[in-house]
Amino acid sequence: QMAHRLYTLIFPLDRQANRVLLGMKKRGFGKNKYNGFGGKVEAHETIAAGAMRELHEESGLSARSLDKHGILFFYFEGDSVAMEVHVYVTGEYAGRAVETDEMRPEWFDMDGMPFEKMWADDPEWWPMVLEGKRFVGRFWFKNDMVTITRREVAPV
């Protein structure tokens, strides 16, 4: 059994306007890609608390509730540690999105995601978020992290 490292990924939604807040990542893993907000879960916190903390650190927003949508497992060729990413949305949050050291926030139409500037797996599961479905996905990447060599993604 392979070792996993826990991560969160959270998407603030403005359901009335049919928009989602993404962040352009300015540094580190996934630099120059748009994504939801998130990061590593710390040892002392629950996964949900980690999602809320990362959202606040990276966007300035404070979530009042979370909706869990899925779990994504990412495997990288030649890497013995997989990523286990817990995906949430929130429609209830306080504050206003601000640019931080890590992320430049930008609203997008929920049906107009900039997939060409996102991780390669995102178009495969984002439709399930829109449909309100829960999902589990497993993606195997080549070293370039662009090419998916194998995928299993399904609603649960």
Catalog residues that contact ligand 6U4 under the rule CB under 6 A: 7-9, 28-30, 35, 38-40, 74, 83, 85, 119, 121-122
Q: Which residue is nearest to ligand 6U4 (CB)?
A: 39
The CB density around residue 51, as the number of other CB atoms within 10 Å, is: 27
Backbone angles phi, psi at 12, to 5 degrees: -75, 130
Distance CA 143, CA 40 (A): 21
Q: Which stretch binds Na ion (CB under 5 A): 31-39, 62-70, 89-97, 132-140?
A: 31-39
Nearer to ligand 6U4, 30 or 91 (CB): 30
Strands 81-90 and 3-14: parallel
The listed partner (Na ion, ligand 6U4, none) that binds 22, CB under 5 to 8 Å by sort, is: none
In sequence order, which ranges of the chain are alpha helices (DSSP H)? 47-59, 122-130
Q: Which residue is nearest to Na ion (CB)?
A: 39
Q: From the list 23, 36, 39, 50, which residue makes contact with Na ion (rule: CB under 5 A)?
A: 39
Size (the chain), residues:
156
Nearer to ligand 6U4, 119 or 135 (CB): 119
